[in-house]
A and B are shown apart, each in its own frame.
Chain A
């Protein structure tokens, strides 16, 4: 045994901290700006790259991946080095991780306003950037797991478990949801379409919240909260239960984003049940965090770090109470597509993520620059500005969301809509939209105060070198167990048998099902008896597992992957069964396809849904509820998640071409009081005809029934169809060339809800 002085790599931690602060300002600034656009449409400045539909993805991606992402990396690298008593093994990988991630963010900040989008929420970035994200995430994983492999501390603290779950689960989610087929250097279609795409997207979207915005922050909470309070976590055992509960349950809850839609009923039920189950572990975690402060509550008056942590953990509790509540189908019928969801999301990102980030920054900065915090009072002002800002924001969105939900579904005793004009609802919530701007601006102002406070703190010190004395054993540290030992042992084998017999019981029929059930019960009994006999051994196995990062990682991955597979695989492989239910969608004509891609490019899905739910108010307002078969050739699906404007699933034929023409030029001429921006560039720019042959070829490969078409036929079809619309517009003295983008958009909008053929004509649905 010898002693060695370890010097931590805090340079990369400082870099990530500063990047998080800078991108946080950008994310929040864009957030306040687009909130103002909802109230004042002129702020779109009739400019494509400043439009709400393009900037909203920039806001969400910047908040999630740039602000919180950089904060996570700072926290993970800082705490894991200390928990393992080991320096990050590679300066090169750390630098590559940092600069690679910033390069990705800059690429996103350029491409999103320019309209390069995949059209899927929180997954808008185009395929070359997706590849870069994957590669840099792999760099992060190598750097992290390498650190674990050479660590000087045998035991793995619970925070590290949360980081492990984050790294492997985010990789899995990101890769599956970004499987796509490129049509050009800057465009691709996802390989999933319609309901499959919807399911995969929200499996990803929900778990991005779970495993990017929650589990790493919980790891940070379990490290920095005890550190700041100067006392151990209230219950380490509870933190273990918290971890395993989240890993087992969270991954199943994605379908709650698609309640009351055309998603199969069993998936909706599954999503709802598992969402409700999340109440217990989430509150267990919140209480564990808050009770860590027992005996230290007085410090909250003077210590801004604890103040932010306590409020952040409380918001975690509030958000995770509200989430399952909104996942109850009847409540979701009111809340979905409204501002209520926006309020819920922001109570999480502002209250939980941003406050935890602020607490961590205020704790870290003085230590990383070996100085004192410039101003505790300024931090207090930041706290209260942020708190009032969040409350104004969330309360206004609650009021707005519930108002929208109730007004849009209100039906008179005579059986007609109480508020048939959608704009009545838009205008009734305008005061709430103004209040949201105020709330967001207050939060941003508080954040800017933090920037100034940190700037002055950093200027008063200089980068510190942190070291620790570590006892190094003569022989290298051995893992608790090897990979084989972790898999081939009684506890894991019993678990495997239970899952196997359970599946056989459910999926098989007749005698096999009965035999499987008997074996299931028998295995359970044998396992219980075996455990009671050799309980100490089994506990020892678990103890050793906690000292072995690779087996632990593998088991965590298996727990997380199970939920996704059981939900997604049946829907993917039973495509024909899904498709035979109801009228079949036909393939888009070249002009409609071009219009659809413009619709995706402009981010119209941010404000308009294309999924009518089987709810009285919706069917009366928009028409028959949506069927799975009506969007099976939609790559990507465009069901949407918010209705700032009305649903447009069946808008085709509802208005003449002239109406759409005028509406896109200036929405106020057709819809008085509308807050939709104008799209003048669609009247200037030409449709990208050259890209269509490749797009159609890719869609054909993915199963869309396109017949053989030459480039000339595609162009001729596009021109002929465009000419019909321009001829129709000419009757109203409007002269426009058929090759303008607006013509393609009108063609796309006019076929919505009318683009299907009866199932019996499926074979004849090849186009055009």
Chain B
């Protein structure tokens, strides 16, 4: 199907669609991420701080 495309014709469209779709999906995922419960966040953020035994 791309054989039919003229680059000049799709210049503005591709940029616009690329921006719009990636921003929509990104905003969507980030919204869900920000709704992650506090208890979960507290657990995750302390994960690097766990200690280990060395011998």
Q: What residues of chain A have their CB less than 8 Å away from a CB belonging to chain B?
A: 8, 79, 82-83, 85, 153, 155, 157-159, 222-224, 226-227, 230-233, 236-237, 240-241, 244-245, 248-249, 252, 264-266, 269-270, 273-274, 367, 370, 464-468, 491, 494-495, 498-499, 502-503, 505-507, 524, 527, 531, 535, 538-539, 541-543, 546, 559, 562-563, 566, 569-574, 576-578
Contact = CB atoms under 8 A, between A and B. Distances in A.
B10 to A, nearest CB: 7
B15 A266 contact: yes
A576 B21 contact: no
Contacts of B55: 370, 464-465, 467
Given A83-B47, A539-B37, A570 B19 contact: no
Contacts of A574: 2-3, 5-7
Interface string B11-51: 11111111111101110111111111100110111111110
A236 B45 contact: yes
Contacts of A566: 14, 18
A570 B33 CA distance: 33
A577 B40 CA distance: 53
Given A266-B14, A506-B17, A542-B36, 8 more contacts: A82-B48, A157-B44, A237-B41, A240-B34, A270-B15, A464-B55, A495-B25, A539-B35
A241 B33 contact: yes
Interface of B: 1-3, 5-8, 10-22, 24-26, 28-37, 40-41, 43-50, 52-55
A153 B47 contact: yes
**A236, A467, A495, A499 interface centre (most CB from chain B within 10 Å):** A236
Contacts of B49: 226-227, 230-232
A705 B19 CA distance: 39
Interface of A: prevailing SS: helix
A504 to B, nearest CB: 10
A384 to B, nearest CB: 28
Given A270-B14, A273-B19, A574-B2, A237 B54 contact: no
B33 A82 contact: no
Contacts of B1: 573
B47 A569 contact: no
Contacts of A539: 32, 35-37
Contacts of A241: 30, 33-34
B7 A570 contact: yes
B22 A248 contact: yes
A258 to B, nearest CB: 14
A244 B30 contact: yes
Q: Which of A79, A237, A265 has the most CB of B within 10 A?
A: A237
